[in-house]
Amino acid sequence: MNPLLQVRALGQQIWLDNLSRALLDSGELARLIADDGIAGVTTNPAIFQKAIAGGGDYEDDLARLRQQPLTAEARYVQLAIPDVQRACDLLRPLHERSHGEAGYVSLEVSPALAHDAKGTVAAGKRLHAEVGRPNLLIKVPGTPAGLLAVEHLIGDGININVTLLFSLAHVDATANAYLRGLERLRAAGGEPRRVMSVASLFLSRVDTLLDARLAAMGGEAPALRGQAALALARLAYRAWRARFHGPAFAPLRAVGARPQYLLWASTGTKNPAYGDLLYVESLIGPETITTLPDATLAALRDHGRVADTLAREADAGAASTLFTRLAALGIDLDKIGEDLQADGLAQFARAFASLLEQTAA
């Protein structure tokens, strides 16, 4: 059996971390959905920058848009929205069959708004209206301002992907923002059952940063390399189950509200010494989502070993022990999370600036 379909049978959705016009025009995305069970698509400024720079698929549309009195950002949005709409339409049958559990496409607000809650709310509402598809997720970074915007957008019934999360503190704050948003929505007479949200926890970047610090410490520290990201995911999942399958969420669940699902992001292995599926095979479990770049998707299809590996209590216990050992070494994982989020925002801002250079007159 196709390993990708085996993963889906265990209750985990696989989303493609890529979108381009070539992927749509060639029929490749439709094939991935039909044959491999791809259940969603994620995008970000870097993905669109690469797509627009990589070939002639956008040249005619860009030439036409340059004749109009639009900003560079408005031109980018006009290029991206048709691709997002087409991807949403390809996934719409799955979205309907699953009653809104799957079949989503993510589109990110401008990175320039990461610390602007009001601007993020306005941008999220605008993109939601312009795309006009029920299976769109507006992607918002999990900064303090971003989470304030998440609360308001969820309260308006808009689906949200909270991105650039790197710590247990980030995941906890994101879940709290989602719950506050659901309560706003319910108080306003809205229907919580119509809202979808995911919390995107980035993995490989955690090990990349922490491994370098552990290597420099000497002693027992280097032996702990390559373990922190998986431990982070397992502890986040344990906390997620306690929160969303516990009594506190029961009243919202009773009116049809969904949990805010954990999504594993940054799943491509950065260190060649590690297996190419390190962040995939070790974190397969129900009610979760994994986003895979093209190379990782191909590797899973080719030689993936599939089993329900996420919820084992022994692994969660080992993860807790690892976090205790890291703390004893003076490593502040919440501080590392803040550093990684700031770096991720800077990377997306650079990609966005490059993208706007391409769409400028």
Q: Which helix (H) or strand (E) holds 66?
A: helix 59-66
Q: Compute, in degrees rounded to 10, the torsion defined by CA atoms 164, 133, 52, 296.
A: 50
Q: Compute, in degrees rounded to 10, the torsion defined by CA atoms 67, 70, 71, 72.
A: -40
Catalytic residue among 50, 139, 270, 335: 139
Q: Compute, in degrees rounded to 10, the torsion defined by CA atoms 165, 167, 170, 173.
A: 140
Closest to 290 (Cα-Cα) out of 17, 21, 76? 17
- Helices 333-359/72-97 angle, 10° precision: 120
Are 260 and 181 spatial neighbours (Cβ–Cβ below 8 Å)?
A: no
d(CA 244, CA 246): 6
DSSP states along 81-95:
HHHHHHHHHHHHHHH
CA–centroid distance for 67 within its chain? 35
Closest to 283 (Cα-Cα) out of 250, 319, 259, 309? 309
Query: Is position 139 annotated as part of the catalytic site?
Result: yes
Tokens of 50: 């690469």
Strand 136-141, strand 261-265: pairing: unpaired
Q: Which residues are catalytic?
A: 139
